[in-house]
């Protein structure tokens, strides 16, 4: 916190307080009191200025929550996922560490069992040569078909061992020929050459596995393992967890009737899911191809393998007719409903997330799609929020308890800013001057700005670009380097409805007459209004959603003449399959999120998400409840009890990361496809209390969350596995050398937690934007202080989305709030895109007094139902709405139309004859009579009947 270097004594101070003593020591416990009793009384309750200046006050004001009041700027860049090695490391929980060894042993056993492979090469996989490696993988895949569960499991373990990089090959120190061509791993400072090499080999073997068709074999095995019921009676613990607490009481296991699922129940599932995850994560990343091979042909070959793998991934399975993604979603329902509580939910979520990324693409693909769609619809293309804001710098917002003020701290840019402001006024062309009569928040001229380098001139919006780069009115003090006008990186937007409101307002004022819906008739309006209108129209932004909404209205209105052209792209197909049970999936996602929220008790919730972290021994321990009270400063991984707690916290964090990504990706892609699909999914989220859940998530000590240290580096893959291979099958032991204890370094953050938090606020934004009812939910749930605390995280993107949420509510929070949070208002002004004619910060009364939010949601619901009925009632008959069921305001006769009456009559003889008809009983009894009467007695010219009216060719 920068000290304000200006004198604090006002000029009447001498009169009131007397002359200050010149000796002032920092440790003087005696505070100086003025002699005036009035001043003394008043001063008694106020914090002493002197203390404030010395910065001591913060120690007193600090609560447990603001443990670290401020953190510096975090160098975080938002990506679709973390780096390759981190993602793979997060797949494994520390309790699963033993399984690295098991996998290696399974592979050894496999080698011994087959005559072809033992002998010359020992256990080495890398020396086998490509063809033999393919053979190994082929044989293992064949063993997945075995009916015996142990066979399948050991084959899966051996397979996973290979996919993990066959780390036993590293056990000879001197034989290492490191292949360091892949420099993409080099950025990770904590990795050594061996780790990189292991990852490169893992990637290579992943491609080999894809070539032999491993995905199909693994999917078959997954389907088989899903069928295995959860054995409630309990089985012996097969896990020998030497590193965990040894003082546990094992005798009580058999007595428990209803036990919860633990690691031993889902070994096969976990192995299969991990193997699939390795495959998907490796092949999804196109850039890995360049890291693995050098030559062009091999790269081409790998690229074609990649393409066919991705095709396979999205194709529906042969007998199931559902793609793998839907299979994974379908696993979530039995998990939370209690039928199969042993499913390893973290791995399921992670794999689902990665498959969604692989099939639909990440944020860049979504951006490209959106731009293509907009181009096709003839709409303008503006800068994308995510793209620009990824590199945005954070603004510095003062601590809530600190003195009220604007941006404190002397900034070097201040003189430049003033200069910039001056220049902006001199540079504006005719139009800009007229903009000022619209509303005051048009950016471009005044930007007291925090972030420096993020603001680059954007070429897309023409009127906003001040051409102030080269041409300046040269003054004597003009700076030597060319200075850019600082402004927001977004152009302003305005909706058609807003222009409409503006026009109506103007017309009302001048003519007392409204022409609603018409924004073009300008007869009789004065020139300032005309020029405002011109500016507004220039910034008119029509979203794809609005276009689709309009189409939807037309399709509903003109049911016969307008037919919808549904494009069967990937998103559409997945949506169709998700639709029937979408509410189940949403419930599953949110329940798991709730269970994984940081403040939740470990086992109190309805779903037990720890079945892939706990062993039967640790299941019994009470560490879980006591782990909640872990004080961050006390984290010392060298203590055994802390390790389990770290594992559990880490597990929760990863689950949150995966779940939040799945939700935001689905929201984003559905919205791109059709806005009602997005609305349907969003509404499900709302109905399942998504908003309070996410607010609860954000309502924790965010700084502590961001800087969480729930990682034990030596236990992560691949270090752990390689250590095991090189140290005679022992796992790394933690000592002071390989574990960091103590406070975190400056600028430290945990990528996945920042990522999850950003996803959360993005989801909240998407759910509540333009929906009054949901925005009021935000207000009602008192989200403002929560979001305010979130602003302490110095990540530009996160702050942007948080500020957007605050901007939405600012109107409803009242003037006192706005007055006391002026810095937040300024931050919003400086960061968030402006909407022209928007009075977000001024309005005192809520826009609509009607608190009738139920009808908003239900009218949306009926629109969505209509959409589903129109599009999907043929595929999913449950969605068809009956006549008069879904009453939409408007032309009433449409409610009486039953489109099914208008289907063409089926007159194809095959299909008619193929239908199963239910014949009445008396017909069957009197069948012979019917035959005699109707068939035998009638004279039918069969030749003419069979020739079907076609000319006789053979005649």
Partner 1 sequence: MATTTRPGAIRRNGPGTKRSEWSNWETLSYEDMDSSLNVQQYIQQTIKQNPLDVDTILNQLPDIDEGVWKYEHLRQFVLQLNGLALLLQEECYPSACAQMTATEQWIFLCAAHKNPKECSAIDYTRHTLDGAAILLNSSKYFPSRINIKESSISKLGSVCRRIYRIFSHAYFHHKPLFEKFEAETALCKRFTVYVTRYNLIAKEHLIVPILQQ
Query: C-alpha dihedral over 528, 533, 538, 543, to 10 degrees?
Result: 150
DSSP string, 96-137: GGHHHHHHHHHHHHHHHH-TTTSSTTTT-SGGG-HHHHHHHH
| Window contacting partner 1 (CB under 8 A); options: 130-138, 619-627, 722-730, 813-821 | 130-138
For partner 1, give the closer residue by CB, 62 or 572: 572
The set of residues, in sequence order, having a beta carbon less than 8 Å from that of 743 and lying 6+ positions away, is: 633
Query: Does the protein bind partner 1 through residue 300 (CB under 8 A)?
Result: no
Query: Does the protein bind partner 1 through residue 198 (CB under 8 A)?
Result: no
Query: Does the protein bind partner 1 through residue 114 (CB under 8 A)?
Result: yes
Query: Does the protein bind partner 1 through residue 30 (CB under 8 A)?
Result: no
Q: How far apart are CA 314 and CA 413, in angstroms?
A: 53
- Which of 32, 79, 112, 145 is close enough to bind partner 1 by CB under 8 A? 145
Q: How far apart are CA 675 and CA 685, in angstroms?
A: 15
The set of residues, in sequence order, having a beta carbon less than 8 Å from that of 641 and lying 6+ positions away, is: 245, 623
- Which of 97, 139, 279, 655 is close enough to bind partner 1 by CB under 8 A? 139
User: What one-character DSSP code corresponds to residue 741?
Assistant: -
User: What one-character DSSP code corresponds to residue 493?
Assistant: B
| Window contacting partner 1 (CB under 8 A); options: 146-154, 363-371, 670-678, 834-842 | 146-154
Pairs from 177-184 (Cβ < 8 Å, separation ≥ 24): 181/291, 181/294, 182/288, 182/290, 182/291, 182/292, 183/291, 184/84, 184/287, 184/288, 184/290, 184/291
Number of residues binding to partner 1, judged by CB under 8 A = 38
CB of 652: closest distance to partner 1 in angstroms?
31
CB of 211: closest distance to partner 1 in angstroms?
7
Q: Is the peptide bond between 718 and the residue preceding it cis, with omega within 30 degrees of 0?
A: yes
Nearest to 94 by CA among 712, 753, 595, 611: 712
Query: Does the protein bind partner 1 through residue 298 (CB under 8 A)?
Result: no
For partner 1, give the closer residue by CB, 78 or 207: 207
- Count Cβ atoms below 10 Å from residue 459 Cβ, excluding itself: 8
- Which of 116, 175, 553, 891 is close enough to bind partner 1 by CB under 8 A? 116
Determine contact, residues 156/275, Cβ cutoff 8 Å: yes
For residue 97 the two structure tokens come to 């560490």
For partner 1, give the closer residue by CB, 148 or 190: 148
Query: Does the protein bind partner 1 through residue 304 (CB under 8 A)?
Result: yes
| Window contacting partner 1 (CB under 8 A); options: 217-225, 266-274, 365-373, 715-723 | 217-225
| Window contacting partner 1 (CB under 8 A); options: 145-153, 836-844, 900-908, 940-948 | 145-153
User: What one-character DSSP code corresponds to residue 821?
Assistant: T
Task: Map the footprint of partner 1 across residues 225-254, applying CB under 8 A.
Answer: 226-227
CB of 695: closest distance to partner 1 in angstroms?
40
Query: Does the protein bind partner 1 through residue 220 (CB under 8 A)?
Result: yes
**HEC states along 444-455?**
CCCCCCCCCCCC
Task: Map the footprint of partner 1 across residues 686-745, applying CB under 8 A.
Answer: none
- Which of 74, 93, 126, 141 is close enough to bind partner 1 by CB under 8 A? 141
Query: Does the protein bind partner 1 through residue 148 (CB under 8 A)?
Result: yes
Query: Does the protein bind partner 1 through residue 846 (CB under 8 A)?
Result: no
Query: Does the protein bind partner 1 through residue 224 (CB under 8 A)?
Result: yes
| Window contacting partner 1 (CB under 8 A); options: 276-284, 314-322, 601-609, 740-748 | 314-322
For partner 1, give the closer residue by CB, 32 or 151: 151
- Which of 62, 70, 216, 857 is close enough to bind partner 1 by CB under 8 A? 216
For partner 1, give the closer residue by CB, 96 or 211: 211
Q: How far apart are CA 678 and CA 674, in angstroms?
A: 7
- Which of 223, 373, 555, 894 is close enough to bind partner 1 by CB under 8 A? 223
Task: Return the bridge partners of 540, or none.
Answer: 494
For partner 1, give the closer residue by CB, 310 or 620: 310
For partner 1, give the closer residue by CB, 213 or 545: 213
Query: Does the protein bind partner 1 through residue 446 (CB under 8 A)?
Result: no
CB of 103: closest distance to partner 1 in angstroms?
21
Query: Does the protein bind partner 1 through residue 331 (CB under 8 A)?
Result: no
Query: Does the protein bind partner 1 through residue 308 (CB under 8 A)?
Result: yes
Nearest to 570 by CA among 361, 766, 362: 361
The set of residues, in sequence order, having a beta carbon less than 8 Å from that of 896 and lying 6+ positions away, is: 883, 884
Q: How far apart are CA 285 and CA 87, in angstroms?
A: 12
CB of 116: closest distance to partner 1 in angstroms?
6
Task: Please state the φ and ψ torsions of residue 288, each to the nearest 5 degrees.
Answer: -65, -25
CB of 217: closest distance to partner 1 in angstroms?
7
Query: Does the protein bind partner 1 through residue 211 (CB under 8 A)?
Result: yes
User: What one-character DSSP code corresponds to residue 722?
Assistant: H
| Window contacting partner 1 (CB under 8 A); options: 97-105, 134-142, 600-608, 914-922 | 134-142
Classify residue 175 by burial, with Cβ atoms within 10 Å: 0-12, 13-18, 19+.
Answer: exposed
| Window contacting partner 1 (CB under 8 A); options: 308-316, 648-656, 703-711, 799-807 | 308-316
User: What one-character DSSP code corresponds to residue 936?
Assistant: I
Q: How far apart are CA 376 and CA 489, in angstroms?
A: 25
CA atoms within 13 A on the CB side of 112: 6
CB of 130: closest distance to partner 1 in angstroms?
12
Determine contact, residues 488/445, Cβ cutoff 8 Å: no
Task: Map the footprint of partner 1 across residues 149-178, applying CB under 8 A.
Answer: 151
Q: Is the peptide bond between 918 and the residue preceding it cis, with omega within 30 degrees of 0?
A: no
- Which of 81, 217, 325, 675 is close enough to bind partner 1 by CB under 8 A? 217
Interface characters, 888-907, with partner 1 (x: CB under 8 A): --------------------
Contact residues for partner 1, defined by CB under 8 A = 114-116, 131, 134-135, 138-139, 141-143, 145-148, 151, 211-213, 216-217, 220-221, 223-224, 226-227, 304, 307-309, 311-312, 315-316, 318-320
């Amino acid at each position: 916190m920068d000290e304000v270097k200006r004198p604090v004594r006002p000029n009447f101070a001498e009169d009131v307080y007397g002359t200050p003593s010149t000796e002032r020591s920092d440790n003087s416990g005696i505070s100086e009191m003025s002699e005036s009793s009035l001043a003394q009384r008043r001063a008694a309750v106020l914090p002493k200025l002197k203390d404030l200046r010395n910065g001591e006050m913060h120690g007193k004001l600090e609560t447990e929550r603001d443990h670290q009041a401020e953190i510096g700027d975090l160098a975080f860049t938002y990506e679709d996922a973390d780096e390759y090695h981190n993602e793979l490391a997060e797949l494994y929980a520390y309790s699963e560490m033993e399984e690295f060894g098991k996998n290696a042993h399974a592979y050894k056993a496999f080698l011994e069992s087959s005559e072809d492979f033992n002998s010359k090469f020992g256990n080495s996989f890398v020396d086998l040569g490509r063809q033999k490696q393919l053979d190994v993988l082929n044989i293992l895949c064949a063993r997945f078909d075995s009916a015996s569960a142990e066979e399948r499991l050991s084959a899966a373990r051996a397979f996973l061992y290979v996919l993990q990089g066959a780390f036993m090959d590293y056990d000879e120190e001197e034989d290492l020929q490191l292949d360091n061509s892949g420099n993409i791993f080099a950025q990770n400072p904590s990795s050594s050459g061996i780790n990189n090499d292991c990852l490169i080999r893992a990637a290579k073997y992943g491609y080999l596995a894809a070539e032999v068709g491993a995905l199909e074999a693994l999917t078959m095995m997954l389907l088989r393992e899903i069928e295995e019921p959860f054995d409630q009676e309990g089985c012996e613990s097969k896990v020998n967890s030497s590193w965990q607490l040894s003082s546990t009481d094992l005798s009580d296991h058999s007595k428990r009737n209803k036990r919860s699922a633990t690691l031993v129940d889902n070994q096969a599932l976990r192995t299969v899911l991990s193997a699939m995850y390795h495959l998907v994560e490796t092949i999804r990343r196109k850039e890995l191809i360049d890291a693995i091979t050098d030559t062009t042909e091999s790269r081409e070959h790998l690229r074609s393998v990649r393409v066919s793998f991705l095709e396979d991934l999205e194709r529906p399975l042969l007998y199931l007719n559902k793609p793998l993604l839907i299979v994974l979603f379908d696993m979530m329902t039995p998990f939370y409903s209690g039928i199969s509580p042993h499913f390893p939910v973290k791995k399921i979520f992670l794999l689902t997330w990665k498959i969604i990324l692989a099939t639909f693409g990440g944020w860049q693909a979504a951006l490209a799609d959106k731009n293509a769609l907009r181009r096709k619809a003839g709409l303008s293309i503006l800068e994308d929020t995510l793209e620009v804001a990824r590199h945005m710098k954070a603004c510095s917002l003062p601590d809530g308890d600190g003195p009220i003020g604007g941006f404190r701290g002397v900034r070097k840019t201040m003189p430049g800013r003033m200069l910039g402001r001056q220049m902006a006024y001199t540079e504006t062309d005719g139009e800009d001057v007229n903009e000022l009569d619209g509303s005051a928040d048009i950016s471009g001229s005044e930007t007291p700005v925090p972030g420096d380098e993020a603001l680059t001139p954007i070429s897309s919006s023409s009127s906003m670009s001040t051409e102030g780069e080269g041409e300046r009115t040269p003054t004597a003090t003009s700076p030597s380097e060319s200075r850019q006008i600082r402004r927001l990186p977004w152009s302003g937007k305005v909706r058609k409805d807003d222009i409409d409101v503006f026009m109506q307002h103007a017309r009302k004022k001048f003519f007392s007459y409204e022409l609603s819906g018409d924004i073009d008739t300008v007869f009789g309006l004065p020139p300032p209004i005309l020029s405002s209108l011109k500016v507004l129209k220039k910034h008119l932004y029509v979203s794809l959603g609005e276009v689709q909404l309009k189409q939807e209205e037309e399709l509903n209105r003109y049911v016969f003449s307008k037919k919808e052209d549904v494009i069967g792209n990937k998103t559409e197909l997945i949506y169709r399959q998700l639709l029937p049970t979408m509410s189940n999936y949403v419930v599953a996602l949110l329940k798991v999120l709730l269970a994984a929220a940081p403040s939740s008790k470990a086992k109190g919730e309805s779903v037990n998400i720890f079945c892939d972290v706990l062993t039967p021994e640790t299941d019994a321990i009470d560490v879980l409840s006591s782990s909640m009270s872990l004080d961050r400063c006390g984290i010392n991984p060298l203590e055994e009890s802390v390790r389990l707690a770290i594992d559990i916290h880490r597990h929760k964090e990863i689950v949150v990361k995966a779940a939040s990504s799945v939700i935001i990706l689905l929201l984003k892609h559905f919205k791109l496809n059709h806005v009602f699909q997005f609305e349907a999914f969003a509404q499900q989220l709302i109905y399942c209390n998504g908003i309070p859940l996410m607010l609860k998530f954000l309502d924790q000590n965010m700084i502590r969350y961001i800087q969480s240290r729930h990682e034990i580096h030596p236990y992560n893959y691949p270090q752990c596995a390689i250590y095991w291979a090189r140290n005679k099958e022992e796992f790394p032991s933690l000592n002071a050398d390989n574990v960091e204890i103590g406070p975190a370094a400056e600028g430290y953050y945990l990528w996945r937690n920042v990522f999850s938090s950003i996803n959360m606020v993005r989801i909240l934004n998407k759910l509540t934007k333009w929906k009054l009812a949901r925005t009021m939910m935000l207000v009602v749930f008192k989200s403002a202080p929560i979001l305010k605390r979130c602003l302490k995280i110095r990540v530009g993107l996160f702050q942007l989305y948080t500020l957007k949420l605050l901007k939405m509510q600012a109107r409803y929070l009242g003037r006192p709030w706005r007055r006391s949070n002026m810095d937040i208002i300024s931050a919003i002004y400086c960061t968030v895109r402006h909407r022209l004619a928007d009075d977000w910060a001024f309005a005192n009364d809520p826009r609509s007094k009607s608190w009738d939010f139920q009808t908003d949601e239900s009218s949306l619901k009926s629109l969505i139902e209509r959409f589903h009925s129109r599009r999907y009632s043929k595929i999913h008959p449950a969605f068809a709405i009956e006549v008069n069921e879904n009453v939409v305001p408007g032309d009433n006769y449409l409610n009486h139309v039953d489109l099914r009456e208008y289907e063409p009559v089926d007159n194809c003889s095959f299909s008619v004859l193929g239908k199963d008809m239910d014949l009445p009983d008396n017909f069957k009894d009197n069948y012979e009579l019917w035959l005699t009467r109707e068939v035998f007695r009638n004279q039918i010219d069969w030749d003419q009947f069979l020739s079907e009216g076609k000319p006789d060719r053979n005649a």
